[in-house]
Amino acid sequence: MPEPHTFLLFAGASILLLVVPGPAVIYVITRGASQGRRAGVVSVLGVALGNFTHAIAAAIGISALIASSAAAFSVVKYAGAAYLIYLGIRALADRAEAPKLFGERNRTDRRLFWEGFLVDLLNPKTALFFLAFLPQFIDPAQGAVAPQMLILGAMFTSLGLLSDGTYAVAAGALGRRLRTARSERRLQRASGVVYLGLGMTAALAEGGTER
C-alpha cells in the first residue's frame, strides 16, 4: 500500500497531466459540443473504463509486452487510428437534412460508452503512459507491486473522471447554445474533421507516453 505522501505526490502529478488537453480530452470535448452534455459525460465514462483497463494491463504486464514488441504496438496503434478515422468519415458522410446531434436522438448511451472505451483502449500510447507513469510511485518495500499499481490506476481514473467530465459538461453547455440546424451541421462537420485529425495523428505518431 503506497504511503500517504506518495498518494499526494501522485495526485498532484496526475492532475497536472489531466488538465492538459490530450487526445482523450479532445475526444470528449468534441462529443459534448456536437451531441450534448449527456453524450459527453457518457463518453467520459467509456474513456475512464479504458484508462482503468490500461492500468490493469500495466499491472499484469500486457503493456510491457506492447512496449517491447514493435508488431504488437503497430497493430494496436493502427487499429485505434482506423477506428477514429471511421468515426470521422461517418460524421462527415451523414447528410441528413435535420441533424440530430444532441442528447440520445442520434446514438444510444451504450453505443457512446463503448465508442469512448474503444477510442481509449486502442491508443497504445495510453498503455505506454501507464507503464511509464505508475511505476514512478511504486515502492516494492510497501508490498506487492501489482496491487499498488491498481490502486494508483484507480486513483488516476477517478481524477480523470472529474477532469474529463468537467470538460465534457462545459463543452455540452457551449454546444447547447448552438442548436440551429446550420450550426449543428457545422458542429457535425467539425467533429468529423477532429476525429480524422486524431486518427491521422495516431497513425503517424511514434512511440511515446502521451495520454
- The answer to whether residue 121 is domain-embedded is yes
pLDDT at 27: 87
Look up residue 2 and give its amino acid: P
CA atoms of 187 and 178, how far apart (whole Å): 9
Domain extent for 123: 4-11+24-204
Model confidence at 48, pLDDT cuts 50, 70, 90, reads very high
CA atoms of 47 and 114, how far apart (whole Å): 9
pLDDT at 191: 65
Q: Running DSSP on this structure, what letter comes out for residue 99?
A: -
What is the total count of domains within the chain?
A: 1
- Considering just the CA atoms, what is the radius of gyration of the chain in Å? 18
- pLDDT exceeding 70 applies to what percent of the chain? 77
- The answer to whether residue 19 is domain-embedded is no
pTM greater than the 0.75 cutoff: no
- The answer to whether residue 97 is domain-embedded is yes
Model confidence at 210, pLDDT cuts 50, 70, 90, reads low
Handedness of CA 94, 112, 164, 125 (dihedral sign): negative
- The answer to whether residue 57 is domain-embedded is yes
pLDDT at 65: 74
Model confidence at 105, pLDDT cuts 50, 70, 90, reads very low
- pLDDT, averaged across the chain: 78
**C-alpha cell belonging to residue 128:** 505506454
Model confidence at 100, pLDDT cuts 50, 70, 90, reads very low
- The answer to whether residue 93 is domain-embedded is yes
- The answer to whether residue 209 is domain-embedded is no
- The answer to whether residue 211 is domain-embedded is no
Measure the CA angle with vertex 209, ends 204 and 211; round to 5°: 85
C-alpha distance across the termini of the chain, in Å:
25
**C-alpha cell belonging to residue 124:** 497504445
